[in-house]
Structure 1
Amino acid sequence: MKLNHDLVRYVLLSIESSNQVSGPTEDELMMEVKKYGSYSKDDIMYTVSKLEEAGFITGEIHYTKYKEKLKPMWMEPGNLTYEGHKFLDNVRDDGVWKHTKATVAKVGNASLGIISTVAANYISDILGL
C-alpha cells in the first residue's frame, strides 16, 4: 500500500483531538477521520501501523491469521509521541500544509522527515528566522 500523506495528517489531528490520555478508541478515530474524507478502515489501519513504526504514535494493530496470512483485525490508535507532536505542529496549519505539498510535488514524493523539514523551513521563512 502507498502511504497517503493527507491521511497521515488527518490521523494525527484526529488522535490529538482525543481527550483521553491513552488516545481515542478505534471507533472514535474512525469517526474523527471521516470528518476529513472517505477513507477505508484498511487505509486508516495501514496509516496507524506506519505512524507507530515511525515513532509518531503509541498505537498498535492487532492481527489474526486467516488462510495462512496475517490480517489486521482491530487497532488501538494510542496517542501522539513527542515526535508525532513535532511533525503535527509543522503541518497543522492548512496554508503551511498546502505549500508543503506543492513544494514536495515538484520532486514527486518525499518521506515524512523531508515533509516535516519543508514545512519547518517554510514556517521559519514566514517568521523571518
Structure 2
Amino acid sequence: MIKGDEVMKLNQDLVRELLLIVEEEKAISEPLTSFNFKEHEIFTRYTLEEVVYTFQKLKEANYIDFKASYGDGIIMFYQIGNLTWEGHKFLDTIRDDKVWREAKEETSKLKSVPINIISSVAAKLVESQLGL
C-alpha cells in the first residue's frame, strides 16, 4: 500500500521494462487491467506500489494512458491504456539492450540523471552505430 508518507523513487529500469511489456502485451482494443495484469511476472521483482507508481509517472510523461483508483489508501483498480506517440518515440530510443546498457553506463558517473537525458544519450549511441 502506498502511504502518504512513503517515498517513491523512479526506477529507470522499471520504466523501460513496463514500456516494453505494454507494447508487447497490450491489445489495441483491450486495456491491461488489475484483473488481467496482476499475475504478470513483473510482480516477482517489483511490488504493486512500485509498478503503479511507475505507470503514474509514465502517464505524467505522456508515454502511456493510465488510470488508477484508490480506496482507504489502497490501490483498488488500475487500467493501462495504449502507448502514446511520445511513448513509442522514447521506447524506440531505448529498446535495444546494448544501447540501454551503454547509455546507463555513460550516465552512471552522476548520482542522478533524468530519464530524458538517458534517452538523449541512447539516441546519440544509435546515431553513432548507424554512422550518422
> Is the helix fraction higher in 1 or 2?
1
Structure-2-length-normalised TM-score:
0.84
Aligned to 2:112, what secondary structure does the other structure show? coil
Shift of 1:10: 0.7
Residue aligning to 2:88: 85
Q: Any idea what SS the aligned residue of 2:82 has?
A: coil
Report the residue type matching 1:15 in the other structure: V
Which of these residues, 20, 25, 36, is aligned with residue 18 of structure 1? Answer: 25
Match of 1:34 in 2: 42
Equivalent residue of 1:55, what SS?
Answer: coil
Instruction: Decide whether aligned partners of structure 1 residues 115 and 23 sit closer, same or farther in structure 2, where only a CA change above 3 A counts.
Output: farther
Aligned pairs, number:
124
CA root-mean-square deviation: 1.8
1:28 positional shift: 4.1
Identity %: 40
Deviation of residue 110 (structure 1)?
1.4
- Map 1:1-129; keep pairs closer than 5 Å: 1-21=8-28, 22-32=30-40, 34=42, 38-64=45-71, 66=72, 70-129=73-132
Segments of 5+ residues of structure 2 without an aligned counterpart are: 1-7
* Whole-angstrom CA distance in 2 between matches of 1:93 and 1:30: 26
